[in-house]
Chains A and B, each alone.
Chain A
Amino acid sequence: MNIEFLETLNLYMNLPFVQNAIIVAILISLCSSLLGVTLVLKRFSFIGDGLSHVAFGAMAIAMALNFVDKMFLLLPITIISAILLLKSGRKAKMSGDAQIALVSVGALALGYLIINRFSKSANISADVCTTLFGSTSILTLTKTEVNVCIILSVVVVIVYILFYNKIFAVTFDENFAKGIGLNTEFYNLLIAIVIAVIIVLAMNLVGSLLISALIIFPAISAMQICRSFKQVTICAIIYSLVTTILGLMGAIIFDTPVGSTIVVVEIVIFIIFYILGKIKGGIVA
């Protein structure tokens, strides 16, 4: 039985598109874990959720227009939406929550309508399923898309390292940060744009409905057992990498959808972390 598993795994590992998928998956999981803490603590998680639905709508348009490298359309639309959501959320009379609910449900409905009406594909429900749950998209990336993924991931990591201290300050206490002369509006904007990029990246791995899990779970899980911001960040990265790799292997071995398998692994490990946190009271810094 075990040998059979290993053989299947070995067989898949030697396929170039699987190797691509693994590289991209590792990069995506690394990026998506970075901003989770900020999102959770700044109560920004709903923006992530709203944006992922916008990305679905954008994907629908890209499919209807028969784009080959869909990311080139997805990226600008999602980034612009991120900026608009952030800007309007502060000024509008309507609460940010309600606005995002409107945008996200609207994008979802419109997206499905567009795919249903204009897609030239033979199997529409499979297309929708792939976009929502990422069932096979990670394996069907074009060479350009793989390269774009790699470049964007590297950019996200560099931006995060350069702004790590600022992000900490803005997350912990925005008023104080503003008081000592930091341009908090700029950092909020930067955070929103990076989230948009991460969402577009992560859509390839888990599909638009499950992206939030990829962003939120590492942070929440790490927060159960870690006591400092640095620890939480490092723990979230490791958690994200391990769960993604386990999920990917699991998906290959058991022939299950990649996105859902990763999320299930994340849930299981989250529960373990939660219990550990309750028992030990966390690792002392």
Chain B
Amino acid sequence: MNGFQISCKNLNLGYDNHVVAKNINFEVNAGDYLCIVGENGSGKSTLVKTLLSLNKPVSGEIIFGDVKRNEIGYLPQQTIIQKDFPASVREIIISGCQKPFKPFYTKNDYKRCEENIERLNITSFVKKSYRDLSGGQQQRVLLARALCATEKMLLLDEPVAGLDPIVTEEMYNIIEKLNREGITIIMISHDIKSALKYANKILHVGPNVFFGSKDEYLKLGHGNLVFSNK
């Protein structure tokens, strides 16, 4: 089980042959906490979409090892549509259990839904409608949905965007707890400080692509580079 989960080789990303990010090489193993950092427009979101097969890479390849293409639990950035979507918390969480060619949920799906509700401390607001929740609560619901889809890997796209500092801290703690339980985390982040605090690997997307352990990243001074740029 020590093999890699996802490996990207010479990946060039973009839309319609217009390259946004070049020469991305990285490997994720089970239990890793990988933070993807980079400036706005450097191709972080494109990379996420490519990993989820929503986008095709311009060139290069993504090899799925110990994790299947559809075993990545995705926490997207929230859309405007979702903000006032009339759905109950349970309806959203269990929708993570869906599989192709299975029209209805099974008993097992309901069980899984309840487990994840407890796991992420959603019980206190489980009866509410999604659109009446605070930003942090909504993120927890979407995270629970992602956990219904997978037990192996979570792909988080700016999970703390728009959250206040206290809720942000809570969110990071939840993610860290899940990582300790053995779930691989890939997180897109603006927040370099927290990235360096929690991650064991860093992928810096931009003109100079860096991939390596957190220590290497600090040694090379990339972290400082980004700080001074801000």
Q: Which A residues contact B (CB, under 8 angstroms)?
A: 37, 41-43, 162-166, 168-169, 172-173, 175-183, 222-223, 226-232, 282, 284-285
Q: Which B residues contact A (CB, under 8 angstroms)?
A: 49, 52-54, 69-70, 72, 74, 76, 79, 81-82, 85-88, 91-92, 95-96, 98-100, 103-105, 127-129, 131-132, 145-146, 149, 155
Query: Are the CB atoms of B98 and A177 closer together than 8 Å?
Result: yes
Query: Are the CB atoms of B52 and A228 closer together than 8 Å?
Result: no
- If A165-B98, A173-B76, A182-B98 touch, whether A229 touches B91 (CB-CB below 8 Å) is yes
Taking a contact as CB atoms closer than 8 A, the residue among B52, B87, B100, B129 that contacts A175 in the complex is: B52
Q: Does more than half of chain A's interface fall in helix, strand or loop, or is it mixed?
A: helix
Query: Are the CB atoms of A168 and B91 closer together than 8 Å?
Result: yes
Which interface residue of A41, A168, A172, A182 has the most chain B CB atoms within 10 A? A172
Which interface residue of A43, A169, A223 has the most chain B CB atoms within 10 A? A169
Alpha-carbon separation in the docked complex, A257 to B162 (Å): 51
Chain B residue at minimal CB-CB distance from A162? B103
- If A175-B52, A227-B86 touch, whether A165 touches B104 (CB-CB below 8 Å) is yes
Query: Are the CB atoms of A163 and B91 closer together than 8 Å?
Result: no
Taking a contact as CB atoms closer than 8 A, the residue among B76, B103, B128 that contacts A285 in the complex is: B128
Known A172-B87, A173-B82, A179-B74; 16 more pairs at CB < 8 Å: A165-B95, A168-B87, A172-B85, A175-B76, A176-B96, A176-B146, A177-B98, A179-B52, A179-B53, A181-B69, A181-B70, A228-B91, A229-B86, A230-B91, A285-B88, A285-B128
Alpha-carbon separation in the docked complex, A42 to B79 (Å): 11
Alpha-carbon separation in the docked complex, A181 to B68 (Å): 10
Alpha-carbon separation in the docked complex, A227 to B92 (Å): 12
Residues of A with C-beta under 8 A to B70: 179-181
Chain A residue at minimal CB-CB distance from B146? A176
Query: Are the CB atoms of A173 and B79 closer together than 8 Å?
Result: yes
Query: Are the CB atoms of B81 and A42 closer together than 8 Å?
Result: yes
Taking a contact as CB atoms closer than 8 A, the residue among B82, B103, B105 that contacts A163 in the complex is: B103
Query: Are the CB atoms of A172 and B82 closer together than 8 Å?
Result: yes
Residues of A with C-beta under 8 A to B79: 173
Residues of A with C-beta under 8 A to B100: 181-183
A to B CB contacts below 8 Å, 10 in the list: A165-B104, A175-B52, A179-B72, A179-B155, A181-B70, A227-B128, A227-B131, A229-B85, A229-B91, A285-B129
Query: Are the CB atoms of A282 and B95 closer together than 8 Å?
Result: no
In angstroms, how far is the closest chain B Cβ from the Cβ of A184?
Answer: 9
Query: Are the CB atoms of A228 and B129 closer together than 8 Å?
Result: yes
In angstroms, how far is the closest chain B Cβ from the Cβ of A114?
Answer: 38
Query: Are the CB atoms of B82 and A169 closer together than 8 Å?
Result: no
Alpha-carbon separation in the docked complex, A79 to B146 (Å): 35
Taking a contact as CB atoms closer than 8 A, the residue among B81, B88, B103, B129 that contacts A165 in the complex is: B103
